[in-house]
Every structure is written in structure tokens, then in C-alpha cells.
């Protein structure tokens, strides 16, 4: 795990977008794992800017999203299909045939989850997976207590996650109680992970994920076991860390980062 602390949200977004763009330029057929929520919006805006101003090409990219609410049709304004279209896909030259987002309306959810896992394998696995982190340490919709070896499946959302996501709905009662999510084991199979966090409200989750023990009660802590996991956080999200593993993201790591206190 390599931790990079930057000044603010804008700097975090630029760093993450630069890493993705570097990998895409090296491999035009990149398999890119995508996240939703407010945290990655700045990354998508910067990638869109690179596409428009610098010609960054997404035409051969395959994408897999982490999750989707169960029971929301793709056209629902709070579905992650709608989110990704508005925030990213319609602004770049991605081929929609290569876009994958879990189907929250699937009649056979278990069968769909098996198919999603097979699609990831069929495309050679995910090269770069973008992640956010919940205030309770969850990644995707893998809530505390999720198996660290889990695969794509349906999950019941915790009350805290429902409260956190209620800001996107008219009320907490409208937030779906279930979601399809990539499992922690699925996430960990990606060749590189980029976890983003911003704001003091994420500071305790970042501390637990980076410095705490590896535990299913803090799902993001498993990233400590990934040899190419980049954690990019702003100063506020890093405010509860007692130590910092800081390294410029100029390429793949070749040595372990130096511990700085």
C-alpha cells in the first residue's frame, strides 16, 4: 500500500486521473474498474478534460462498475447507470458495448453475479480499479463483516450506509436496502487499486484502513495486502494518521516506500 497525501480534493482528483491516463496511454485496451459517489467525480471531470483537450482515447477501454442498487432501473436518476452516463460516459468516446454495470433489475441476481465475474475474467481481469471508502470502512457495498474473499453478490446495506446515501434521495426511506456489489476478493484481483478519500469525515476510516489491523470489520484494510494499492487522500482525510507512507505516483512501485514519522 502506497499512501499519497495531497493538499485538497482537486489535487487528489488530478493525481488519480493522471495515473489512469498514464496506464491508458500505455495500454489503449485498458480494463478499468469504476466507482460512483461524490468522491470520484473530480477524477471523471479531469479525465473528460484530458479527452477533450489532450485527445485521451477511451475507444478501446472496457469498464466494470463496482455496484448498483437492487430495484432501480437504469433510467432512474439515482441509479448508478444514470450516474455514470451523466458523470462520465456521455462525455468521452467510450464504446457502450464495452461498458459493464451490475443489473439491479435482474430476475436471477445470483446468476447475473456469476455472469459478471465471468465477464471480468473473459476480459483478462481489471487493470486499474478506482475505489472510494465509506465512513465505516466499506469499499463498494462490502459492509463491515463482509468476507475478505467474497465475490460479486447481493448485499444488505447497513443503516449507516443508508443514512450516508440518503443525501442523494428525498429521504432515507427511498434508499434501496440491497445492492449488487463486486466482492472484496473480486476487487483484490485487480492489478492496481486506487482508493480515494477526501474530507475529515473520512479520516477515521482512512486511519483504520491504512494503520489498523486487517479485519473484515474494516473492509478497506485488506488493501494493505495488495502490492499495487495507491491510497490518495487530501490533508483532511489524512488528519488522523500517525505516520505517512508518501510516494510520488510516477509509475509502478519498485521498492517498499520509506516510513516517515
Segment 96-122, tens digit of pLDDT: 999 999 999 999 999 999 999 999 999
- Catalytic-residue membership of 143: yes
Number of domains in the chain: 1
How many Å apart are CA 132 and CA 36, to the nearest integer? 8
Report if residue 240 sits inside a domain: no
**CA 128, chain centre distance (Å):** 10
DSSP letter, residue 134: -
Report if residue 101 sits inside a domain: yes
Average pLDDT in the chain: 91
Burial degree of 141 (CB within 10 A; 0-12, 13-18, 19+): buried
- Annotated catalytic residue within 103, 117, 143, 234: 143
Report if residue 256 sits inside a domain: no
pLDDT category of residue 216 using cuts at 50, 70 and 90: very high
Averaged pLDDT for residues 118-135: 97
Provide the domain limits for residue 52.
7-234
74 φ/ψ sector (left φ>0, alpha ψ -120 to 50, else beta): alpha
DSSP character string of 40-65: THHHHHHHHHHHHHH----TT-EEEE
How many Å apart are CA 69 and CA 141, to the nearest integer? 10
Query: β-pairing, 67-69 with 178-181?
Result: antiparallel
Report if residue 248 sits inside a domain: no
pLDDT at 88: 98
- Catalytic-residue membership of 170: no
- Catalytic-residue membership of 226: no
Report if residue 213 sits inside a domain: yes
- Annotated catalytic residue within 67, 117, 164, 234: 67
- Could you tell me where the DSSP H helices lie in the chain? 9-26, 41-54, 80-87, 109-122, 159-165, 184-188, 203-211
Averaged pLDDT for residues 66-72: 95
Q: Which residues contact 93 (CB under 8 A, 6 or more apart)?
A: 51, 57, 58, 59
Q: What is the pTM of this model?
A: 0.90
- The CATH number of residue 223's host domain is 3.40.50.1360
- Catalytic-residue membership of 4: no
Paired with 34 in beta bridges are 65
Report if residue 178 sits inside a domain: yes
Packing angle between helix 41-54 and helix 9-26, nearest 10 degrees?
Answer: 50
On the question of pLDDT at 171 being above 50, the answer is yes
Residue 261 or 99, more confident: 99
Averaged pLDDT for residues 208-234: 96
CB atoms within 10 A of CB 119: 13
pLDDT at 255: 36
**CA 114, chain centre distance (Å):** 20
Report if residue 41 sits inside a domain: yes
Averaged pLDDT for residues 124-152: 96
DSSP character string of 70-90: TT--TTSTTSHHHHHHHHTGG
pLDDT at 163: 84
Report if residue 148 sits inside a domain: yes
125 φ/ψ sector (left φ>0, alpha ψ -120 to 50, else beta): left
- Annotated catalytic residue within 138, 165, 226, 234: 138
pLDDT at 243: 59
Amino acid at each position: 500500500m502506497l499512501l499519497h497525501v495531497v493538499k485538497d480534493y482537486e489535487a487528489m482528483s488530478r493525481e488519480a486521473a493522471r495515473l489512469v491516463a498514464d496506464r491508458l496511454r500505455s495500454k489503449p485496451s485498458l480494463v478499468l474498474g469504476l466507482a460512483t459517489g461524490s468522491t470520484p467525480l473530480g477524477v471523471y471531470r479531469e479525465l473528460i478534460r484530458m479527452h477533450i483537450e489532450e485527445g485521451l482515447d477511451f475507444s478501446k477501454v472496457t469498464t466494470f462498475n463496482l455496484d448498483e442498487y437492487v430495484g432501480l432501473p437504469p433510467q432512474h436518476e439515482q441509479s448508478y447507470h444514470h450516474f455514470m452516463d451523466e458523470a462520465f460516459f456521455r462525455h468521452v468516446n467510450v464504446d457502450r458495448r464495452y461498458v459493464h454495470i451490475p443489473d439491479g433489475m435482474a430476475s436471477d441476481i445470483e446468476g447475473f453475479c456469476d455472469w459478471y465475474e465471468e465477464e471480468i475474467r473473459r476480459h483478462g481481469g481489471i487493470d486499474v480499479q478506482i475505489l472510494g471508502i465509506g465512513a465505516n470502512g466499506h469499499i463498494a457495498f462490502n459492509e463491515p463483516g463482509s468476507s475478505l474473499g467474497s465475490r460479486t453478490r447481493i448485499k444488505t446495506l447497513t443503516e449507516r450506509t443508508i443514512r450516508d446515501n440518503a443525501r442523494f434521495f428525498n429521504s432515507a426511506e427511498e434508499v434501496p436496502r440491497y445492492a449488487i456489489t463486486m466482492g472484496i476478493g473480486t476487487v483484490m484481483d485487480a492489478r492496481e487499486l486506487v482508493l480515494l478519500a477526501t474530507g475529515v469525515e473520512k479520516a477515521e476510516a482512512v486511519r483504520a484502513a491504512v494503520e489498523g489491523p486487517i479485519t473484515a470489520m474494516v473492509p478497506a484494510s485488506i488493501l494493505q495486502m495488495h502490492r499495487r494499492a495507491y491510497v490518495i487522500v487530501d490533508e483532511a482525510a489524512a488528519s488522523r494518521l500517525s505516520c505517512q507512507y508518501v510516494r510520488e505516483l510516477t509509475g509502478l512501485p519498485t521498492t517498499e516506500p520509506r516510513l516517515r514519522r
